[in-house]
Amino acid sequence: MEAKYDLKENIGAGCYGNVYRGIRKMDGKQFIIKSTTSEVDSNVPGYPLPIPIEVAMMTIVRDPPSPLLIKLQEWFLVKVEKLPRGKVCKTIMLVMEYLGPCRTLEDFLQKHQHLEERVARTLILQIVKAAQECLRRKICHHDIHDCNILVIDRPLQIKLIDFGCGMHICHDPKKYPPDTRISPKKAVKNTVKQLFGIMREIEKQCSSIPEEFMAFMNTCITLGDDDQRLQTVQQILDQPWLKNQ
């Protein structure tokens, strides 16, 4: 990787690794470069061997690309370490699109403690659509929260990031290992629950979100596993408040 990119300043850190601004040597173009580790591999069409789960998820969601999902440019395997019980830990570098000035949704909400209704609606609409984009690609992000959503101020746009906890949406036990797959019904329920958590955080900064909309979301997360009333995330997007965008 060092032959292609120069690592610059650290622009973020978390329990899964560090994030840097990087410069591609051949043309000076900026990228986000994330250093992380992975103990779980997964199969992806087009790859002869299993690849780290985060790479697998990002490879799938970039085809076709979505403006709401962070785009993977390429990745590098840096180190392989053997662990007990035959497991392996891989250190990898992910090269992703550079977004320019942005902040996590958590930081955005701390700065904007009195959101206008139109801003809150735009954020919620884009976040729900980002989750839907994942589900349509048979991916459950599985870790949607305010630190995994980046907000670009002008124009207002979000990017869903960090696919390290992602899972394939699949029933076939032969296609993917158990720790990398989730059933379609559980994927929707998990996603809606996490979306509701995000909406509750946004609601704290915007008193104009209709009670009827939040009541609908609250009903969604309390439905039993066998309840047929919630089938898709599209049902959230069909709510009148979001359709008034």
pLDDT digits (tens, 9 = 90+) for 140-160: 999 999 999 999 988 999 999
Distance (Å, whole) CA 68 – CA 136: 13
Higher-confidence position of 54 and 17: 54
Q: Which domains does the chain have, with CATH numbers?
A: 5-97 (3.30.200.20), 103-243 (1.10.510.10)
Chain-centre distance for alpha carbon 25: 28
The whole model's pTM is what? Answer: 0.94
Pairing relation of β-strands 157-160 and 181-182? unpaired
Confidence of residue 46 (pLDDT cuts 50, 70, 90): confident
Mean pLDDT of the 16-42 span: 94
Name the percent of the chain in helix, strand, coil, to the closest 5: 35, 30, 40
Task: Give the count of beta carbons closer than 10 Å to the beta carbon of residue 110.
Answer: 12
Distance (Å, whole) CA 69 – CA 60: 11
pLDDT at res. 227: 65
Least confident of 56-60, 132-136, 173-177, 182-186: 173-177
Mean pLDDT of the 106-115 span: 94
